[in-house]
Amino acid sequence: MTTAAAALERAIMDLDTAALLGSLYWITQASGYLYPGADGGMPDKPYGQLYLSTGTLCLVGFGWWTERKRLRSGAF
């Protein structure tokens, strides 16, 4: 494996790790709606936290996808 290929694989692994760790918080926060009797959010905005968690997860996923696409295209 060449040095450039190894650097590319390392960058992709770092990206995957960052996206996973960055999304874990939002996944656990969104799971608050699954517990019986829990409203998972603020009393005045019952679904506010769910929308925030879902939106943030979508942004993390979009960022992961676009950066991975950029790395794979050779713009490394």
Residues 6 or more apart whose Cβ sits within 8 Å of residue 67: 15
Q: What is the pLDDT of residues 15-47, one digit of tens each?
A: 999 999 999 988 888 887 777 777 666 667 767
Helix, strand, or coil here: 45? strand
Instruction: Judge contact between 19 and 63, C-beta under 8 A.
Output: yes
Q: Which uninterrupted H or E stretch holds 63?
A: helix 48-72
Domain locations in the chain as residue ranges? 3-32+46-72
pTM: 0.78
- 76 has pLDDT over 70: no
CA end-to-end distance (rounded Å), the chain:
16
